[in-house]
Structure 1
Amino acid sequence: MSSEKKPRTVSVRRMLSLTATTAAVGLTATSGVAGSDLWPQQAPSFAPAPVNAAASVEGEGEGTTGQIKKEGEGSAPAEGEGEGSAAAEGEGNAHAEGEGEGSTQAEGEGEGAAGGEGEGAGSGDSDHALQRDLSFMEGHLHAGMTLYEAGDLAAAKTHMGHPIEEKYGAVAEPLAERGFERLREQIKAVASATEAEAPVAEVAEAFEVVRATMEEVREGISVKDQVLGLAELVRVAGAEYAVAVEGGSVTNLHEYQDSWGFLRVVEAEFRGIAESGDEGARHVAEEALEYLEQTDAAFGDIQGKGEMTLDPSLLYGAAAQIELEALELD
């Protein structure tokens, strides 16, 4: 993404109910490590690893993220059956299933209508769900690593602990089936080093071990599923962001940082696909990176400082556009 920052104004525009946003999110059917051109001042010292992934993880946090109107009957990914509102994903089945008219909250354990953090099964054991959940965990670790390097140890410790506390249960089985049970202990090692306030280099090294294992897992996931999962994670980032800026300002810094971390992972994943994929995959990844530029205006730095347009629809719109790109892949 462009490193040139266009003038941005803090303009709180809660546009979750806009037709474009609604359509964008509604389009998403089933549908994440570091390094960003968006905020170069926040770039951590650890080097980003090439990544090919698609992750869409359940939303965390408290509060509502707006309503998404549904049409017709039948179950739809992340949508209730019939007319109603679908709450942003919680940790659980990303294909939330509700019946009748009314609001539907994604299955799984969580807090608030945005779907809170809590161990859940994602959207089953599909590859794109696995990638989404892996990148969700990585997004937390990336935010934590950035905060740790910046000296905000308390916030870093919180983010580093969330992957095991609130998400690993969703990926334990598929990882075990693929022979990657070691990831649990590797993530715990990052959290433990952070809790012990170890030197930054030590924590960063432990983080790189986690990322290397995640990359091995991603090698077994098709590019299409990678892109679908990434689109899901952008949508989750939108739900997290909506909670973070509810009320017209950054009122929930943790959720803001979650969203920030998720998008950093998504961006790096698409850069990896663009560099290593075939022609079709490169095209989709390059288009996705352009769509992600739309989210630039929504963020300042990782501490929620700076000029920004507080508009979750920027993230939801990017998620829908990325998912549409995935349909071009076999």
Structure 2
Amino acid sequence: MKENQKIIKYQSGNIEMETYQDGETFVKKHYYNAKDAYVKELSYLKDGIKKVKYFTEKGVLSKLNYFVDDKRHGLETKYFISKADGSIKSTKSYENGKLHGENIIYNEKGEIIKREIFALENYKRLSMDKTSSHIRNILHGFFLTIGTTIAEPSTILPLIVNYFGGSSILVGFFAALLRGGAIIVQLFAAFKAQSYTLMMPYLHRVFMVRFLAWFFIGVSILLFGEDSPTLTLFCIGFGLFLFSFSAGFGAIYFKDIIGKIFSHKFRGKTMAYRQFFSGAGGLISGALAGWIIASFDAPMSYGYLFIISSFIMGLGYLSFGTIDEPVKEKVSKREKLI
């Protein structure tokens, strides 16, 4: 018997475990109280990293691990034993013995069926690419498009402004406010958000401001209408101002959350679905706006458009606002503005 060989036996006398050195490979065999039934481990040590392969009774590779100082470190890979062709069943990332990084589970076709992220700082599991988050993201885009298309700058918004005596310049100003106002505050929002561990509480505030701003426009049209056209136009402009500038904050929070709940590969998929259903929402919005305008006299129809669409947008806000956002463990220290 070699000096580095070790044999442990059952009470029956059969071998329970056998270890020995085969060149640079350390071999460990676990027996099942029978001479021929055992699973095998092959260990290789290089540069302080131990690589261990696990095999079934039939010699099929079942798992691959890496260890540093007897602690799991690096990628753990499990294989489909039934296929016996090296097809990967799952991968887990370890650092210093703890799960850290991306963990993926595959089906037998090689398709990803589950992906998770583990954060080393507090050993907290952060789920990504969840189906529920995917659906909520799509619903948000769908309902938001239905709500906002009713004030499309090239169609309905000029009709409303002209009805209350506004000039073409005012139409252009409102259109610019609606489409470009958010850009001005995005830099400031990004600066503030760099120290936030969670974006969703702030996004909830943005959702509330945008809902109330849109609803306010509709109520103002119903209350003042033809009796005070100048005041009505002012209220429309004020509502658009709140709606647009709050979007500058919302865009930063939204993108940060999307980056945390979807992997870069899945992100393209969910945003493509969102774009498709947003287009469908635009078609529905056009039909809804046409029906409301045809069913009610102006300016009541304009007020109903904004009020109804604000609640439709609210459904989108509710959908996205219920997403479970992972906590950002490492945040940047916010610098002082000069």
The TM tier, using the shorter chain, reads under 0.3
Of structures 1 and 2, the one with the larger relative CO (CA 8 A, separation 6+) is 1
State the TM-score, normalized to the length of structure 1: 0.24
Higher percent of residues as strand: 2
Structure number with larger C-alpha Rg: 2
State the TM-score, normalized to the length of structure 2: 0.24
